[in-house]
Amino acid sequence: MITASQKPINEIIELVEPYKKLLILGCGTCVKTCFAGGEDEVAVLASVLRLSFKKMARPIEIEELTIERQCENEFIQEASPGIARNDAILSLACGAGVQAMAKRFAKEVVLPGLNTTFIGIQESHGVFTEECSGCGDCSLATFGGICPVTRCAKKLLNGPCGGSQKGFCEIDPDTQCAWHLIIERLTTLKQQDNLKTYIPPKNWNTSLSGGPRKLIREDHII
Amino acid sequence: MKINNAPKLTLFHCLNSFEETNSMFDGCTIKTVKMACSSMTKDIHLLKAFESGADAVLVLVCQEKDCRYAEGSIRAKKRVDYVKTILDDIGMDGRRLNIFNTTAKDSGPIKDIIKTTISELETIGPNPALNHFN
Amino acid sequence: MKTYSRLHEKLTKGKFVVTGECGPPRGANKDVIDKKIRLLRGFVDAVNVTDNQTAIVRMSSIAASAHLVAAGLEPVMQMVVRDRNRIAIQSDIMGAYSLGIKNILCLSGDHQKFGSQPDAMNVFDIDSVNLIRTVKDMRDSGKDMSGFDLDVAPKMFIGAAANPFADPFEYRVIRLAKKIDAGADFIQTQCIYNMDRFKEWIRRANNEGLTDKVYILGGITPLKSAGMARYMNNKVAGMDVPESIIKRMDGVDKKSRADEGIKICLETIEELKETNGVHGVHIMAIEWEEVVGQIVEQAGLK
């Protein structure tokens, strides 16, 4: 899932201040799961904005709507009437959703209400961790299903640095050392030989380093 | 700003922490909201109470270790804390929202809580989002 | 046998070598380098020049190393992969070699999070093992990473770091072997205070035949105070200062603590000299270079 968290409320207030009619648009997939942009969060944000604009004695009309996904045209369509009624859209989607909205409604103001953080999982209720950087060339098979490109602070491919202590990373005592986990897991899987394997420099061309990427499925294009 | 009229309080409570028959208190207008369990305390409800004009919002829940549904009181406390920070962030003063662990039998302590809330409102002031358009 | 540097030559001749350390200044003042050169000259076989150590911005290790070359001292230029991608790395290595720099120590680098500019983006395009391999490939095949034939290839004596005190311990020897396979000619270790753990690590390295393939220089850092011992143990990642050492520093009166720190160093060096598989020491007297001469003389290494 793509995780995100809401921008600080005062930053949002500053963003929406110039507008009198605002559509807060939630996204019901990833960011709903991480409690950032689903209908509950839309309702809370709307209420907070109403309170704070009342306090400032400034008028604002807020409409609330949550669609299934802001990153797909098929669902975006549902938002059209609401968008037509308002001056600006405060999108509680990830950065992809915000941009999809901006692309679809070229003449409308689309503002981001969230900070998009990472591709991750919900490790336990309310705790989300980053697991994948979308590098475009997955080598999880070599590393026992734990990604050092994402989860090692130094992206080390050939073993842990000298700062790993008692299973935790030197940069943060709450972050597990990815290499410690890789070693444990490869040991469990009896694949310790992988630890000795030399991993050559990574080809970053498939990652964002190669420029914004495009995925084309010819068989789906008509 | 002084409160001219009697302050308005909204009181959320779970079934075990408050008897609605106790709801006669002097010096304020109280609206009570009964919840089957304190875990139903949700941020949106607390905020809506302020939108509807409450000067203070109280949440009464069971003792943490006595909660019939195990974690209800703890969840409620977390959500109240969350909304308190939001109120602080937008200059509404988080002190006007509070949670207490009570039992329905204890009408004395509950009366005290309400009395304290009313007197604290003297310094905190009325709901700053009131008396404006919208 | 071809030797790549004077340090290399001394090691091939079986000398128990001493390397020192010079941290470049936080500014463009060459006088700081000159002062450290004066303190180290005549006492050490080569001098490591750190590369923005602890991610604090300093004069570049290449420039500071070049100052050492000009003064007749042999630098071990440290290079981290934190700040450069492979393009900059290869280019800097060629440039460094053209300035007369013959030794390199290949490192990952401390994470910038604790440095002076934590807002920086790090690079980590290649890791330290691949940095070692890059230097080796350039030296041995005369080609850069793309396979392009270099007109003059940099031919450096290649070093790597090892930390026998980091976790997981079992992996530390595998990691050493990986660095040797990648092309490390010599190893400088993290500061040794826990001699038992160091000896266990070197025993395993001996068993694997690794100490025949690489020169190992044990890391030495004189403690100035009990506070420093405690700080290093608690705050410096990958550092292991046993309670017995801290107690020992605590046990002497304040003004003798620096002397006690030097005494501990001398005892450590003595043990290392007797340890099979250790070929020298790397003395990192952090901002205390004036003590290096004394340690080297008293240890009988001059």
- The pLDDT tens digits for B97-115 are 999 998 888 778 888 999 9
Look at B44 and A9 and tell me if their CB atoms are within 8 Å: no
Q: Evaluate whether residue A177 is within a structural domain.
A: yes
| pLDDT, average across residues A149-154 | 97
- In this prediction, residue B66 carries a pLDDT of 73
Q: Residues 28..47 of A with a Cβ closer than 8 Å to B: which?
A: 40, 43-44, 47
Distance from the Cα of residue C76 to its chain's centroid: 8
β-strand partners of C283:
C220
pLDDT for res B133: 46
- CATH topology for B8-124 is Rossmann fold (3.40.50)
Search chain B and give the residue with CA nearest A20: B134
Using DSSP, how many helices (H) and how many strands (E) does chain B show? 3, 4
Distance CA C48, CA C131 (A): 17
In a domain, A215, yes or no: no
Domains along the sequence of chain C with CATH: 6-297 (3.20.20.220)
List of chain C residues whose C-beta atoms are within 8 Å of the C-beta of residue A160: 166-168, 171, 175
3-state secondary structure of B130: coil
- Does one domain contain both A21 and A99? yes
Residue A211 inside a domain? The answer is no
Same domain, A151 and A181: yes
ipTM of the complex: 0.92
Query: Considering its fold, how many domains does chain A have in total?
Result: 2
A30 and A88 together in one domain: yes
C197-219 average pLDDT score: 97
Q: Are residues A114 and A75 in the same domain?
A: yes
Please report how many Cα atoms fall inside a 13 Å half-sphere around the Cα of residue B128, on the Cβ side. Answer: 20
Is A169 inside a domain boundary? Answer: yes
Minimal C-alpha gap between B57 and chain A (Å): 15
In chain B, the residue whose alpha carbon lies closest to the alpha carbon of A42 is: B44
- How far, in Å, are A154, B59, B80 from residue B16 at the CA level? 53, 12, 19
pLDDT at B4: 57
CA–CA distance, C91 with C148 (Å, rounded to integer): 13
C156: its two tokens: 């450096």
List of chain B residues whose C-beta atoms are within 8 Å of the C-beta of residue A21: none
- Say whether both A175 and A79 belong to one domain: no
* Residue B10: both structure tokens together: 């909204």
Facing A48 at nearest CB: one of B47, B128, B130: B47
First to last CA, chain A: 29
**How far is A98 from A90, CA to CA, in rounded Å?**
9
Share of chain C above pLDDT 90, in %: 94
Interface probe, candidates A158, A176, A192, chain C, greatest C C-beta count within 10 A: A158
For the record, the structure tokens of C173 come out as 């020897």
C122-166: per-residue pLDDT in tens?
A: 999 999 999 999 999 999 999 999 999 999 999 999 999 999 999
The pLDDT value recorded for residue B22 is 54
Contacts of C167 (CB under 8 A, 6+ apart): A160, A164, A165, A166, A167, A177, A180
A195 touches B: beta carbon within 8 Å: no
**Residue C236 to residues C110, C140, C274, Cα–Cα distance (Å):** 11, 36, 28
Pair A69, A159 in one domain:
no
Range of the domain at A184: 136-205
- Residues C270 and C264: their CA atoms lie apart, in Å, by 10
| C94-119: pLDDT as tens digits | 999 999 999 999 999 999 998 999 99
Average pLDDT, rounded, for chain C:
96
Asked if the structure places residue A197 within a domain, the reply is yes
Structure tokens at C228: 């420093």
Chains meeting C at 3+ CB pairs closer than 8 A?
A
CATH number for the domain spanning A34: value is: 3.40.50.2300
Mean pLDDT computed over C172-197 = 97
DSSP string, B32-91: EEEESSGGG--HHHHHHHHHTT-SEEEEEE--GGG-TTSSHHHHHHHHHHHHHHHHHHTT
Q: Which of A118, A148, A182 is the last residue of a domain?
A: A118
Largest Cα separation within chain C, whole Å, is: 62
A101 and A10 in one domain?
A: yes
Instruction: Please report, as a single letter, which amino acid is at residue B96.
Output: R
CA-nearest of A41, A2, A3, A1 to A24 is: A41
In the numeric block, which tokens belong to residue C302?
């001059």
* Interface probe with A: pick from B90, B92, B93, B130, most Cβ of A within 10 Å: B90
Going by C-alpha positions, the residue among C111, C126, C123, C133 that lies closest to residue C179 is: C133
Provide CB contacts within 8 A for C114, sequence distance 6+. Answer: A171, C54, C55
Question: What residues of A are in contact with residue C114 (Cβ under 8 Å)?
Answer: 171
DSSP letters along chain A, please? -EEEEEPPHHHHHHHHTT-SEEEEEEESSHHHHTTSSSHHHHHHHHHHHHHHHHHTT---EEEEEEES-TT-HHHHGGGHHHHHHSSEEEEES-HHHHHHHHHHSTTSEEEE-EEEEEEEEEEETTEEEEEE---SS--TTTTTT--HHHHSTT--SSS--TT-BTTEETTEEEEEPHHHHHHHHHHHTT-THHHHS--PPP-GGGSGGG-S-----GGG--
Which segments within C124-205 are labelled E, that is strand? 157-162, 186-191
In-domain check, residue A123: no
Domain-by-domain residue ranges, chain B?
A: 8-124
pTM: 0.92
Same domain, A40 and A73: yes
What residues have CB less than 8 Å from C224, skipping those under 6 apart?
C257, C258, C261, C288
Neighbours of C283 (CB within 10 A): 29
Question: Chain A: residue nearest C180 by CA?
Answer: A198
Question: Dihedrals φ, ψ of A25, to 5°?
Answer: -110, 115
Helices (H) and strands (E) in chain C, counts: 11, 8
What are the tens digits of pLDDT across the range A75-114?
Answer: 999 999 999 999 999 999 999 999 999 999 999 999 999 9
Residue spans of chain B under pLDDT 70: 1-4, 21-24, 131-134
Q: What percent of chain C has pLDDT over 70?
A: 100
Query: What's the rounded mean pLDDT across residues A132-156?
Result: 97
Does A54 share its domain with A18? yes
- The answer to whether C36 touches C67, Cβ cutoff 8 Å, is no
Does A180 map to a domain? yes
Residue A140 and residue A113 share a domain: no
Are C163 and A200 inside 8 Å of each other by CB? Answer: no
CA distance C214 to C11: 10
Strand order in the sheet with A114-124: A2-6, A114-124, A127-132
In a domain, A157, yes or no: yes
Sheet containing B56-61: order of strands: B29-35, B8-14, B56-61, B97-101
